[in-house]
Structure 1
């Protein structure tokens, strides 16, 4: 077991030569290079043993070629010192060994099959960005192949060789080449699978983020035409603004974590209501919450939708109020009318809505009262058949003037 453990530890250590974890791509290339170097270095030893058994007299010239190939075992250390030199010496050494072995064993030994895959190995290990290196190795391997195949048709006279040995050599060369190509394909496929899996995860994450930032239809339009300007004229939308009463003085007395937790708890509840009623959450501004109905696509009952949302928000806040020592109240305002909506920005995309309808809805909230829902006459007229109202009278609204407003009391029984 001690010997086996030593062999295993030596193999593991050899595979880790040059790998530092700085880049998965580089570590993969270095791991593959180490596998090829180990295989190319150990394989000649097997052939040398074969010559000992088959023809001891021919061992010395064969051993010279084997020693050349055994250099491959040291190649990972050379590459650590000089990337270009190491990746040139490895193929150069292989070409020299190929020429020597072809001179000894002849063209029919099939050794040329191995030299064919040398450029592929360097391409895999060095990477496509090292074009001069790849071209140089390809030219060197091609020249060695042409010389070896055409200059050494017959084996050397002093080598004992017959058809059975040639057939064995050809078969072994094909098997070795198949192993190299299969191993290369396996590594590349595993790498591609890993990359595709990572891309799918990132794509799903990006999709989820995009659809969290933008309405689904708007996101789909941007995906089809990323550079298009999204700007829509909306004939009838309903806008709701809600604001937490006395949030600013309360936030001044709380640590940051509690401020964020406080808003997050309330706004998460509002998000669920917006989804329930099919409304589009536009944004939060500090402690203000804004939703709209009838955008990005028109709908038949936008004002009814925001009215239901407003009443549900009141009930939700009342239910949550006991959880907070200082109580909890919101002011809500809503208005309906035409507006313009679109996407702005190029890094942090933002879907927003503009127009007098938005400004008036915002004023309905800011000029309202805690715990109440203030609406304009335009919104009341849309809701009159289904909801109860209390008249508030005329309110002087900054930037707009005198506006007749109403309190939304609830749905008619």
Structure 2
């Protein structure tokens, strides 16, 4: 059974729901709306036709039976949903043909004084509401046909057919009802069109805003702006003074073996989310996370005057966050941090799963500092120490033999001065 349909607080009965939803399986979006509209109209047109047939027979059964017979032909629209469920083109042609032919017969029988030729205006509106604007050539042809029928009716069918007996009062009633119904059809068609266009536009604006937020969460705003302005351009920047901070949870591999997978993810998410907040506070750029490693950079994508100071503040605050978060686990945990300053190359590679990355000896050295650091401590290089020595407190660690680099003097960053 299809999902329920409500009109205000009134639920559509099951039999009506079945008819409205006939042939809609697998349809979504505009196609679903159009098919349901077609099903509803396929019931309303015969219902309206039967009421007019009853009116003609009540007024003068002997003189108006041809008109009653003609308008009863609108009952063919009850077949419309079955045809549409099998072939939409056939349904388009069937609906347009029946509407135009039956309406032409009625105008010929009752003349222009009945106002029935005005219904030719509503036929293209119904076609658009039920089928959309995909078949523009056929729609233009239908408009021309209906316009021609209207003009011909106005100029040639001046009086009812000779074998029809119809009074002036009935003709006046039919004319007024035609004005009202056609106006309602035209208004409804325009309203439905603008309603769905407005909904689509608002939905598009919301989706655009969400995509913008997602883009800016993946890339620095300046880089995202450059990518949108030139999607196929190569983004590669050489930056002379960038501070790189690497952080890693000490002994994470044996820790992750002991923990449930969900606990591992919750731990990393909790700690790294706090790190993200620190990155925003200190105005440094989060580059990426790799497993339990977290990397940020100060001085990119735009150069700043104090990248080392921002990175050092970030590193010390990361130690405090990790210390506070260690209570999540009974055995606790600590992080190691390495910091180095120097020139880098930064850019965006590829066109899928984009992110802003950074390369160079500075990055490699900062990564080595993290590897040679100790739990709960920040290890820095001579370049970082030189920029920070007046404003931060250090403990000498001495020379260490760093793989791929050689002997290098190092210091522990312990506090702000």
TM-score by length of 2: 0.88
User: Are 2:193 and 1:188 aligned?
Assistant: yes
1:17 offset after TM fit, Å?
2.7
Aligned length: 407
CA distance in 1, matches of 2:226, 2:63: 75
- Contact kept? 2:64, 2:166, Cα under 8 Å: no
> Aligned pair in 2 of structure 1 residues 121, 332: CA closer, same or farther (>3 Å)?
same
Matches within 5 A, 1:64-83: 64-83=69-88
The C-alpha deviation readout for 1:106-147, integer Å capped at 9, x for no partner, is 123322221233233223323333456546645654565465
Which of 288, 297, 308 is residue 293 of structure 2 equivalent to? 288
CA distance in 2, matches of 1:203, 1:162: 61
The C-alpha deviation readout for 1:340-377, integer Å capped at 9, x for no partner, is 21122212111011122212111111122222211111
User: Are 2:115 and 1:110 aligned?
Assistant: yes
The C-alpha deviation readout for 1:256-304, integer Å capped at 9, x for no partner, is 2222222222222222222221111111112111111111122221111
User: Are 2:397 and 1:404 aligned?
Assistant: no
User: Are 2:204 and 1:199 aligned?
Assistant: yes
* Deviation >6 Å, runs of 4+: none
In structure 2, the gaps of 5 or more residues are 1-9
1:248 aligns with 253
> Aligned pair in 2 of structure 1 residues 237, 160: CA closer, same or farther (>3 Å)?
same
Matches within 5 A, 1:19-34: 19-20=24-25, 22-34=27-39
SS at match of 1:57: coil
Which of 50, 58, 62 is residue 45 of structure 1 equivalent to? 50
- Contact kept? 2:56, 2:65, Cα under 8 Å: no
The C-alpha deviation readout for 1:288-326, integer Å capped at 9, x for no partner, is 111111111222211111111111122222333344333
CA distance in 2, matches of 1:334, 1:408: 9
- Contact kept? 1:88, 1:137, Cα under 8 Å: no
Matches within 5 A, 1:131-142: 131=136, 133-134=138-139, 137-138=142-143, 141=146
Matches within 5 A, 1:11-410: 11-20=16-25, 22-131=27-136, 133-134=138-139, 137-138=142-143, 141=146, 144-145=149-150, 148-161=153-166, 163-410=168-415
CA distance in 1, matches of 2:91, 2:314: 70
CA distance in 2, matches of 1:104, 1:375: 98
- Contact kept? 1:91, 1:141, Cα under 8 Å: no
**Higher mean C-alpha deviation, range 244-253 or range 119-128:** 119-128
CA distance in 2, matches of 1:84, 1:362: 65
1:23 offset after TM fit, Å?
1.8
> Aligned pair in 2 of structure 1 residues 321, 15: CA closer, same or farther (>3 Å)?
closer
**RMSD, aligned α-carbons:** 2.5
**Higher mean C-alpha deviation, range 156-165 or range 55-64:** 156-165
The C-alpha deviation readout for 1:367-388, integer Å capped at 9, x for no partner, is 2222221111111111111112
In structure 1, the gaps of 5 or more residues are none
- Contact kept? 1:92, 1:140, Cα under 8 Å: no
CA distance in 2, matches of 1:10, 1:158: 42
CA distance in 1, matches of 2:293, 2:84: 62
SS at match of 1:327: coil
> Aligned pair in 2 of structure 1 residues 320, 44: CA closer, same or farther (>3 Å)?
closer
**Higher mean C-alpha deviation, range 274-283 or range 254-263:** 254-263
